[in-house]
């Protein structure tokens, strides 16, 4: 696999008794102690949680990458906008090289920063969504205040927010990969877990992602340990084949029977290859890169040469990868990306009713607090 450094996505899927596994296990001990102390401190009120003026919903996971949060956030944001909520997306800008305390990625109409500053996911979301501001900050509370004061937003979606305990949220949605929910079951860095599995008790709903052929059955751990938490199933459905350089878009079936070269720099690139094969493409060559890999001109020249060598007609990648290569000073006339949509496979109405009911509860509680405050301090 291309890229530099360890292939963490593969390391985290296997249970190896070797030297490196033992070394990583040693480092997992202090990580686990720190994680538990942080959780305990917030639960006991030693660390105070910030409260934004509006409804806060988090879309997150328990593992490091690979559950498809970005399409889920886009789906939720579009739904909330359609319901008339004043929506903003708040992100930490993972791997973004911004230095400001708060960075406005998008005002809902135009993009204000590039992918190197923002990181992959915020830049992708900003390009996919209109009329929805996207703000990044290491402290999501500051991002939320910015969105509220500048745009009047009062419905905040935390992108990758399950572990961001500083900000109080009203609803926690946790995404879990249906095929491989918790990797090898260990905490970072030995495994993919950011927190112990027991912390799923904080979630208000689970969504099993990439269900596909894996069926609709929740892992026994979810149904056994968290029986009162609703479980939903979803999949990432191919929506279009986009050729950005020619501004063309086709149905996913466009590549059926055609020889293509595929590549991806995501947590599990093999999933992208499986998707292309599932669409009927003749994948004559495929190359996987590390997650969040920063593509260079040499990488793209090598892929173009490989395309000629193997007789591929098109080069296909993911939408997230395209956002990283678009800034290169190159022209890619036969390169396209596959757009995907996050689709709930069942209980669609029930899922959104959970959100609207909670919004009503929060709104009513806020009105009652205002009334109580007025009665206590009626003014002159």
192-239 pLDDT, tens digit per residue, is 999 999 999 999 999 999 887 555 566 777 888 999 999 999 999 999
Give the residue carrying structure tokens 């495929």: 286
Question: Is the pLDDT reported for residue 4 higher than 60?
Answer: no
What CATH number does residue 82 fall under? 3.40.50
Q: Specify the pLDDT at position 65.
A: 75
Asked whether residue 5 is domain-assigned, the answer is no
pLDDT band at residue 110 under the 50/70/90 scheme: very high
What lies within 8 Å, CB to CB, of 188 at 6+ separation is 28, 31, 64, 194
Query: Which of 229, 248, 281 is at the close of a domain?
Result: 229
Q: Is it the case that residue 123 has pLDDT exceeding 60? A: yes
Distance of CA 215 to the CA centre of its chain: 22
The verdict on residue 108 lying in a domain is yes
| Count of C-beta atoms within a 10 Å radius of residue 254 | 17
* Region 291-314 average pLDDT: 95
Residue with tokens 């751990």: 221
- My answer on whether 81 and 120 are in the same domain is yes
Are 190 and 213 within one domain? yes
Q: At what angle do helices 120-128 and 69-82 cross, to 10 degrees?
A: 30
Counted domains in the chain = 2
Task: Label residue 344 exposed, middle or buried (CB < 10 Å: 0-12, 13-18, 19+).
Answer: middle
In a domain, 327, yes or no: yes
Could you list the residue range(s) of the whole structural domain that residue 288 is in?
237-341
pLDDT digits (tens, 9 = 90+) for 147-198: 999 999 999 999 999 999 999 999 999 999 988 889 888 999 989 999 999 9
User: Same structural domain for residues 74 and 170?
Assistant: yes
* pLDDT band at 380; cut points 50, 70, 90: very low
pLDDT category at 327 given cuts 50, 70, 90 is confident
Name the pLDDT band for 24 (thresholds 50, 70, 90): confident
Considering the domain architecture, whether residues 64 and 212 belong to the same structural domain is answered as yes
- Could you tell me if 281 and 323 lie in one domain? yes
Helix-strand-coil percent breakdown of the chain, rounded to 5? 40, 25, 40
Statement to judge: residues 269 and 201 lie in one domain: no
Structural domain includes residue 48: no
Q: Which long-range contacts (CB under 8 A, 24 or more apart) does 42-45 make?
A: 42/165
Q: Does residue 222 share a domain with residue 88?
A: yes
Distance of CA 94 to the CA centre of its chain: 11
- Among the three residues 229, 260, 295, which one is the final residue of a domain in this structure? 229
User: Considering 194, 229, 264, which residue would you say is the last residue of a domain?
Assistant: 229
82 shares its domain with 189: yes
Place of tokens 């708060």: 102
**Residue 217's pLDDT is what?**
60
Q: Are residues 258 and 183 in the same domain?
A: no
Assess if residue 332 is contained within a domain: yes
Q: With a cut of 90, say whether residue 17 has pLDDT above it.
A: no
| pLDDT single digits (tens) 29-86 | 999 999 999 999 999 999 999 999 999 999 999 998 778 899 999 999 999 999 999 9
């Amino acid at each position: 696999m291309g890229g530099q450094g360890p292939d963490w996505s593969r390391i985290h899927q296997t249970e190896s008794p070797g030297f490196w596994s033992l070394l990583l296990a040693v480092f997992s001990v202090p990580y686990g102690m720190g994680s538990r102390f942080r959780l305990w401190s917030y639960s006991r009120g030693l660390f105070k949680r910030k409260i934004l003026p509006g409804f806060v919903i988090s879309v997150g996971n328990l593992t490091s990458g690979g559950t498809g949060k970005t399409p889920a956030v886009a789906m939720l944001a579009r739904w909330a906008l359609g319901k008339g909520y004043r929506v903003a997306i708040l992100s930490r800008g993972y791997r973004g090289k911004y230095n400001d305390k708060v960075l406005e990625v998008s005002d809902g109409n135009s993009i204000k920063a590039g992918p190197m500053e923002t990181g992959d996911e915020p830049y992708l979301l900003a390009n996919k969504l209109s009329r929805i501001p996207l703000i990044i900050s290491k402290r999501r509370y500051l991002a939320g205040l910015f969105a509220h004061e500048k745009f009047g937003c009062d419905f905040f979606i935390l992108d990758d927010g399950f572990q961001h305990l500083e900000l109080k949220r009203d609803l926690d949605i946790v995404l879990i990969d249906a095929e491989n929910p918790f990797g090898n079951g260990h905490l970072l860095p030995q495994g993919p877990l950011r927190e112990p599995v027991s912390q799923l008790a904080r979630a208000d709903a689970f969504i099993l992602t990439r269900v596909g052929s894996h069926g609709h059955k929740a892992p026994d751990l979810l149904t056994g340990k968290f029986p009162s938490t609703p479980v939903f199933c979803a999949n990432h459905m191919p929506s279009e084949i986009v050729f950005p350089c020619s501004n063309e878009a086709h149905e996913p079936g466009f590549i059926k029977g055609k020889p293509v070269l595929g590549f991806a720099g995501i947590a599990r690139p093999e999933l992208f290859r499986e998707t292309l094969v599932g669409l009927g493409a003749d994948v004559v060559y495929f190359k996987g890169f590390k997650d969040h890999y920063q593509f260079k001109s040499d990488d793209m020249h090598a892929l173009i040469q490989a395309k000629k060598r193997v007789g591929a007609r098109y080069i296909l990648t993911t939408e997230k990868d395209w956002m990283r290569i678009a800034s290169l000073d190159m022209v890619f006339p036969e390169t396209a990306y596959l757009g995907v949509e996050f689709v709930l496979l069942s209980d669609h109405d029930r899922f959104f009713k959970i959100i609207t009911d909670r919004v009503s509860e929060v709104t009513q509680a806020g009105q009652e607090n205002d009334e109580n405050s007025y009665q206590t301090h009626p003014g002159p």
